[in-house]
Amino acid sequence: MVGAYGLGSSVTSYAVSLEDWSNPLVPGFNQRKVLFFPAPHSAADRKRRPSTPLEDAAFHAVPLGVSGVSDDAFGLLLVGGAAAIGPDVHWFTSVLSQKLEQLLRQNVLGGRRPQAGARADAPLQHHQRGQRPDSPDRHGRPRC
């Protein structure tokens, strides 16, 4: 959990099993597609929506991952509201993905166990072909 601005305490225990293919968030996560879930207007609408801390509010589910590093997402950002996602949210998602990927990679390369929710089955690599991830960059600084 990175943040839960404006949400109650139930959000800290919220998790989605990637094995639960009946959850509409799972295919979006696996296919790295932004999904939109409008506010439900009937019981049938409610059944088609995933259960989230956002309850009946409209929201977008934005996969987190770094293009060019891995084709796999490693998280979802739930953004409340019915308005279309603008360039500022896409920029934020890109920066957040890069920073989270760096933290996850440091945990894996540093020998620490990945935190709950981290994809242990997907290798986290971010290096140029032919270079080891722990080799220094061209300025002698360690790669992060």
Identify the residue whose tokens are 């994809």.
Answer: 119
Q: Retrieve residue 1's tokens.
A: 């959990």
The contacts of residue 38 (CB under 8 Å, 6+ apart) are 45, 58, 82
Q: How much is the pLDDT for 16?
A: 87
Residue stretches of the chain with pLDDT short of 70: 1-10, 108-144
Q: How much is the pLDDT for 34?
A: 92
> How far is Cα 119 from Cα 135, in angstroms, rounded to an integer?
24
Please name the CATH architecture into which domain 9-109 falls: 2-Layer Sandwich (3.30)
Alpha helices in the chain (DSSP H): 25-31, 43-48, 87-109
Cβ count near 51 (within 10 Å): 11
Q: What single-letter amino acid sits at 129? A: R
> How far is Cα 117 from Cα 83, in angstroms, rounded to an integer?
28
